[in-house]
Structure 1
Amino acid sequence: MPFSPTEDASKPSEEQILVLLGQIQDWQINHGSLLKLIESQTEHSVLSYPVGVTVFPTVFPRLQFCRAMCLQPIYNELYAAIAGDEDWLYKVTKELIPVEPLAGALWDIYEQAKRAGITQQISAGIFRSDYMLHLDDQSSPDSRSDIFKTSLKQVEFNAFSCAGASHSKRVADMHRYMTRIGAYDLETGTEAHEQDTPSLPPNDNIESLASFLATAHTAYGPPKSKASRQTAILYIVQPNNFNIADERPIEYALWNQEKPILTYRLDWGDDILQYTSLTESRELLFHPPWRKGRAPMEVSVAYLRAGYEAHEYDLTGREARLRIEISSAIKCPSILSHISTFKKVQQSLTVPGEIQRFISSQKAKELYETFVKIHPLDESPEGLRARKLVSDRRCSNYILKPSLEGGGHNVYDRIPEFLASIPDSRWSSYVLMERILTPVSWNVLVGPNGVDGGDVVSELGIFGACIWKDTTEKGADLLHNSCSGWSFKTKHSDVDEMSVVKGYGCFDTPRLIES
């Protein structure tokens, strides 16, 4: 059998690991599984370094993987409905406005857009729901290694700038290749085990997301402005982006469609104001600087991979986001969909009966089974009870989470001390989430801190893609709803955060096994 990194398996030797590392390095260089070293860039060269990966695929129960894939269309439906319910979104996030700058900026821009008039009723969303396995039986001494005595629990739901799709595909392809050539046959040295590749699920993230954006592009239709003869997707990105190997492949795949979809990148901020304009009827026109004197492109879809950090919303950033929001381009995502990604929304959905506002009782039951307990820290009765829980220092089984994206913001230890260091008025911007007790596997991680084997835990992310039309009569009318691949990340069990590009975890592939 191919090597399977489980607790009871014999560990590979240092010599065997070195052979595998050579294969991995070659794969990453040849397939762009890299991060850009921005400070090294000159006019003619730039350095890069490999993204963190695991040496082996990590075991994961097939049943739970398939369940997560099946749940994604329901989550898509839920969050499309949430984005169409302005009153509910405001009710659950209004306490963030005075204490969380990003929430304040987004609601302010939305109010300005409403006053100007919303011109596009079609919205698009690329989502990712992240899960970990939770041990149901914690009484057994061996329970931490039994992945079949687990349930699927949601870590978070991401509705904005969902990253990791391209990296995940590259690593899945790498592990499949290594399995096919017999690289993991460490003990027997036998021929490649083709029969084991079905345990490694294929990953078509890049093609799926490109196809989805092409569908949104088609939904926009032909140019509406007399000033333009062509439509194009506009990819909004952060300046000096080190993670281009995750973004660019989707752009390239759009150009490689049977009928190429014109797709262009534009930096957040000044470049949006400089190189776009609005017509009287609010078509968003893109004026490429290399096409001076030629007709502009009419933007069909504005796909945002920037604008998720508070510091981006200076006067220029606000004006840029407002221009996009009031335009007739389909937004991926819209402001309200962006606001739905806040942890306060996730916490509010765990309140019994709340989720049935948006989806059927049966669908709500399926999703509710993935929730863990999340407490507010506001001044509601439940929030006051959670504040007492924190003040009594009985919170070792909880994680403190703010409504921020990008990883690295959670508080895992010394929660009472952290809260004591900030004004009480800011407590309401946090939620207190029950820890997920995850079974431990064994693997070797290759990242910026070197090569290290040991106990690891994993997180499964499922990508979803959704297009809907807002209707005053019945909320969100779904035009497209699909599952668009997966990501799988693994970290050492004693590390709290999971972000790969920030150096905490590694991209991985689930090796699906059955009980």
Structure 2
Amino acid sequence: MATLHCMNDEDYPPDLSEDRLFSLVSQIKDWQINHGSLLKQVDSETENSVLSYPVGVSCFPSPLPRARFEQALDLQEIYNKLYCSIAEDEEWIYDTIKDMIASEPLAKALWGIYEAAKDAGHVQDISAGVFRSDYMFHLTEAASVDRWADLSKTALKQVEFNSYSCSGFSHANKAANMHRHLARIGVYDMTDKPFPVDSLPINHNIDSVASILALAHKEYGPPKSKLASKTAILFIVQPYNFNVADERPIEYALWNRDEIVPNYRLDFPDVLEYTKLTEKRALLFHPPWLASEKPVEISVVYQRAGYEAHEYNKAGWDGRLQLEKSTAIKCPSVLGHLTTFKKVQQALTKSGALERFLSPSEVARIRETFVPVHPLDESTEGLEARRIACDPKRSTNYVLKPSLEGGGNNVYGNAIPAFLKSTPITDWSRYILMESIHPPDADNLLVGSACLDGGKTVSELGVLGCCLWQRTKRTTAKKSGTRCDMLQNSVGGWTFKTKFAEIDEMSVVKGYGCFDTPRLVDF
């Protein structure tokens, strides 16, 4: 059992001498080079070389209350169950997003693909999920002079739930290993106090994501088509991808398993060029770079592209439909993709919404993590939210969020009224208005490709959920429909990101934040 560590280090992080600071930064750079904690500079690519630069990381692990870390991990299986259940509830999803379909191009494209696939008839009842539930730590009382006491007054509050193309897991895994290595070799030790290495939790993101994909691959079974030589997982990725160091480790882990799981990459939207459906809709993949004359039958489609509206031109729309119609297990399906919309997060805060999917005890635990979230539609609640959002004073405590992924899309505080004024009122229903979370800050040094700088920082914890479930028919005296039977429901690991307190966004790959490791503390 790990030793409990009380947080009373008033000088943490330590004020390092110039020599020790130089050594720390040098060791971080060496670690990142040797372990692929890098982003690819795509426009630098030549026939035989490519430039890369280090992903942003914290120099020191940031303090996090152990109780909040454990609470977040303990909740993940409930959140997994919730979102898997939603992904099989067509009626609830449609009622939630129907007002967006006319005004939000991505919602329109995805719902159209779902309906076309439904008309063709579903041929695969099993789905997989790689989820991430993001939290910040909200101060429940006014901030005090004692910053460690502030940490003890925090409540776990959900920022958002991600169910599609979740990224950062490999980078976070590497950052955790880096901080543990630096702690082991004494970089963080003070003169009379060794750093508690066991306060840094171990991370297993890469193995966890690979394991859920491998389980889905096994569940699919042998090829269904006599034309295929074998089965394999297909990663659907964006072309000219700068974030390959986050995706590739999962592929390598699958190839390196004792029981090898073949897997390949395919740029989106080039699906129709390299795949075809058999009469029974097995998905066959045969790119020219594979030596075998026989195509590979795809067991699992792992989506790491297709989360932006512009990707759904005709080739993208038709390609995604082909994937959705196939017998391959989708990670996730189109309905599963739609659950990542912020409108879903907002709808779940309504009275009675959670009770449709969870038990009363589960509902109580989940609801503790919610902050007020409002629609910007023409309902009574939506009209009041519009008044708040258009008020320069009242809007300062809110964040305006669209149903878009990738970071950099939110509008904060007193910038909201001007943004809405420049946005057609017919498009306002695409957004939700979320009350701001006010986390405590901590001192840290952050290092990236551009600079090394210190100051007040705030952190965000993401918890990895790994799921496999099956859609089954449900018939009762009152209603009929579908239900979700969990085949695998587990916590895979975590991400921990830190940014300077004055910066609103957290996206690391876009340069706003850094990957970090929590230093778990007790009070």
- TM-score tier by shorter-chain length is over 0.9
2:152 and 2:8 mapped to 1: Cα distance?
Answer: 16
1:370 is the counterpart of 2:369? yes
1:8 and 1:186 mapped to 2: Cα distance?
Answer: 9
1:462 is the counterpart of 2:458? no
2:354 and 2:519 mapped to 1: Cα distance?
Answer: 33
Match of 1:505 among 508, 513, 517: 513
1:319 match:
318
Q: How does 1:415-434 map to 2 (within 5 A)?
A: 415-434=416-435
Q: Is the 8 A contact 2:147 2:441 kept in 1?
A: no
1:346 match:
345
Structure 1 residues 6 and 130: alpha-carbon distance in aligned structure 2, compared to 1, 3 A threshold: farther
Structure 1 residues 8 and 487: alpha-carbon distance in aligned structure 2, compared to 1, 3 A threshold: closer
- What is the CA deviation profile of residues 194-253 of structure 1, one whole-angstrom value per residue up to 9, with x for unaligned ones? x71210000011011111110010111111111113100001100010000000000000
2:196 match:
196
2:280 match:
281
Q: Tell me how far 1:13 sits from its aligned partner.
A: 3.4
1:92 is the counterpart of 2:91? no
Match of 1:166 among 165, 170, 192: 170
Match of 1:138 among 129, 139, 142: 142
Q: Secondary structure at the match of 2:396?
A: coil
Identity of aligned residues (%): 57
1:149 is the counterpart of 2:153? yes
2:32 and 2:290 mapped to 1: Cα distance?
Answer: 35
Q: Tell me how far 1:184 sits from its aligned partner.
A: 1.2
1:396 match:
396
1:216 is the counterpart of 2:216? yes
1:5 and 1:492 mapped to 2: Cα distance?
Answer: 21
Structure 1 residues 503 and 362: alpha-carbon distance in aligned structure 2, compared to 1, 3 A threshold: same
1:385 is the counterpart of 2:374? no
Q: Tell me how far 1:353 sits from its aligned partner.
A: 1.6
1:149 and 1:389 mapped to 2: Cα distance?
Answer: 28
Q: Tell me how far 1:95 sits from its aligned partner.
A: 0.9
1:98 and 1:151 mapped to 2: Cα distance?
Answer: 38
Q: Tell me how far 1:446 sits from its aligned partner.
A: 0.4
- What is the CA deviation profile of residues 315-363 of structure 1, one whole-angstrom value per residue up to 9, with x for unaligned ones? 0000110000000000001000000000000000011221110111110
Q: Tell me how far 1:404 sits from its aligned partner.
A: 0.3
Q: Secondary structure at the match of 2:395?
A: coil
Q: Tell me how far 1:291 sits from its aligned partner.
A: 3.2
2:232 match:
232
TM-score by length of 1: 0.96
1:12 match:
16
Match of 1:83 among 78, 83, 87: 87
Q: For structure 2, which runs of at least 5 residues remain unmatched after alignment?
A: 475-481
Paired amino acid for 2:454: G
1:439 match:
440
Q: Is the 8 A contact 2:237 2:265 kept in 1?
A: yes
1:43 match:
47
Q: Secondary structure at the match of 1:146?
A: helix
Structure 1 residues 5 and 90: alpha-carbon distance in aligned structure 2, compared to 1, 3 A threshold: farther
Q: Tell me how far 1:295 sits from its aligned partner.
A: 0.9
Q: Secondary structure at the match of 1:60?
A: strand
Q: How does 1:55-66 map to 2 (within 5 A)?
A: 55-66=59-70
Structure 1 residues 106 and 144: alpha-carbon distance in aligned structure 2, compared to 1, 3 A threshold: farther
Aligned Cα root-mean-square deviation (Å): 1.8
Q: Tell me how far 1:16 sits from its aligned partner.
A: 2.3
Q: Tell me how far 1:292 sits from its aligned partner.
A: 5.8
Q: For structure 1, which runs of at least 5 residues remain unmatched after alignment?
A: none
Q: Is the 8 A contact 1:144 1:438 kept in 2?
A: no
2:167 and 2:369 mapped to 1: Cα distance?
Answer: 22
